[in-house]
Amino acid sequence: MISPPLRERILSEAAEILSRSFPLESRLQAVMQLLHEQIPHAHWVGIYWLHGQELVLGPYAGPPTEHTRIPVGRGVCGTAVAENQNQIVVDVREITNYLACNLETLSEIVVLIRHPESGEILGQIDVDGTAVGAFDSSDEALLQRIAEQIAQQVIAHRKYIH
């Protein structure tokens, strides 16, 4: 649950971080740290990039995970891509297609990062929570806006390097 004032504060801090003239990877790392610190109950926050039929771990904040590559369709992350929709899992113990990163995780949210024009899936933001039902539509709304900010930076970066 993210209150509107907290959402606006996080969004403006993320926008400020993303506008800095640091390499994209460092800016995304800083945004993951911001989300990790500011989202209540979040103990792991990270980006997975979609490469073909596989999700590849990008910048993250929280304990290291063994899930650095996840095939589309596997786990909550792979399901988001396979179903082409965000996922909110109230209690990870109740789903069979779940890849455990950490025993502390009881709930999870995955929000897709899409190309601003085509809607193509570029990747996703994954957040693990330490409480059952930690995430709701207010978290999804925040992460959706963050995903849009990130997508704009990724597209600008692609244009720059190509």
Per-residue binding letters, 4-43, with ligand SME (x by CB under 6 A): ----------------------------------------
Q: How far is the CB of 31 from ligand SME (least distance, A)?
A: 17
Residue 102 or 138: the one with the smaller Cβ distance to ligand SME is 102
Residue 5 or 52: the one with the smaller Cβ distance to ligand SME is 52
Residues 10, 3: contact at Cβ < 8 Å?
no
3-state SS assignment for residue 76? helix
Q: How far is the CB of 26 from ligand SME (least distance, A)?
A: 21
Main-chain dihedrals φ then ψ at residue 5, nearest 5 degrees: -65, -40
Which range, of 7-15, 73-81, 133-141, 150-158, touches ligand SME by CB under 6 A?
Answer: 73-81
Spatial distance between the Cα atoms of 125 and 138, rounded to a whole number of angstroms: 15
Q: What is the 3-state secondary structure (H, E, C) of 110-144?
A: EEEEECCCCCCEEEEEEEEECCCCCCCHHHHHHHH
Q: How does strand 69-71 pair with strand 121-129?
A: unpaired
Residue 34 or 106: the one with the smaller Cβ distance to ligand SME is 106
Q: Which of 76, 81, 122, 150 binds ligand SME (CB under 6 A)?
A: 76
Spatial distance between the Cα atoms of 59 and 28, rounded to a whole number of angstroms: 6
Does 44 sit near ligand SME (CB under 6 A)? yes
93-112 binders of ligand SME (CB under 6 A): 98-99, 101, 108
Q: What is the 3-state secondary structure (H, E, C) of 47-70?
A: EEEEECCEEEEEEEECCCCCCCEE
Residue 16 or 91: the one with the smaller Cβ distance to ligand SME is 91
Contact footprint for ligand SME (CB under 6 A): 44, 46, 65, 67, 70, 75-78, 98-99, 101, 108, 126, 128
